[in-house]
Amino acid sequence: MSRESDFYLRRLHSLLGIIPVGLFVAQHLVINHFATRGPEAFNNASNFMGNLPFVLFLEWFIIYIPLLFHGFYGVYIAFTANNNVQRYGTFRNWMFMLQRITGVFLVVFIAWHIYQTRIQKALGADVDYDMMADILANPFMLAFYIAGVVAATFHLANGVWSFLVSWGITQSPRSQQIVTYVSMVIFLILTVIGVQALFAFV
């Protein structure tokens, strides 16, 4: 792969990680959070999203295709990256390594989540509160989903920092430090929303 094509693919990978994939992750966590209001509230929110006009078009071109590219190209980046935290144990080097680790884990987690929900729906199952309650009744699945939510919220929040830096939006050390704090707040808020939603199914 030429250096120029790699540059543009990495820019596309970064952009899709925020728009639309990052926005979808945030929206998905908020919809799941309706479970804290009870089964009926969650089912109504889920049914609303599932009955949007052109839902198949939206799922494939706003979610699945961007997610597939971001995920698989991200795995390529992860396995070709030079992690040097043992030599340079700075905060940003650790964030760089954790971004790659969570990305690889999320490929596995998201594939399994899609299998348990979307593929089962295609086979005739109802994707509703009861389905998620049955899945999360297994302690191993609950722990796996908690890890998946934390990995997703970290990956998105740290990805916001990386996006703003790589696109030249935050260039000064001061602006990058401010965005570090902002990304931490994003991580904490989305993690609380996501984990609260999981325990609402238990």
Q: 135, 191 in Cβ contact below 8 A? A: no
Q: What band does 3 get if pLDDT is binned at 50, 70 and 90?
A: confident
Q: How far apart are CA 192 and CA 202, in angstroms?
A: 16
pLDDT surpassing 60 at residue 171: yes
Give tens-digit pLDDT for 132-160.
999 999 999 999 999 999 999 999 999 99
pLDDT tens digits for range 179-202: 999 999 999 999 999 999 999 999
Residue 116 in this model has a pLDDT that exceeds 70: yes
- pLDDT surpassing 80 at residue 89: no
Q: Are 158 and 98 in contact (CB under 8 A)?
A: yes
Whichever domain contains 83, its CATH number is: 1.20.1300.10
Determine the length of the chain.
Answer: 202
Query: Which residue range is the domain that position 95 belongs to?
Result: 3-200
> What's the CA gap between 9 and 43, in Å, rounded?
38
Are 184 and 161 a contacting pair, CB within 8 Å?
A: no
Q: Which pLDDT score is estimated for 50? A: 86
User: Structure pTM?
Assistant: 0.93
CA 66/CA 27 separation, integer angstroms: 16
How far is it, in rounded angstroms, from Cα 53 to Cα 159?
A: 30
The pLDDT value given to residue 34 = 98
pLDDT band with cut points at 50, 70 and 90 for residue 21: very high
Q: What is the pLDDT of residue 88?
A: 56
CA distance 111 to 114: 5
Q: Domain count for the chain, please give it.
A: 1
Q: And the tokens for 45?
A: 């929110």
Q: What is the pLDDT of residue 160?
A: 97
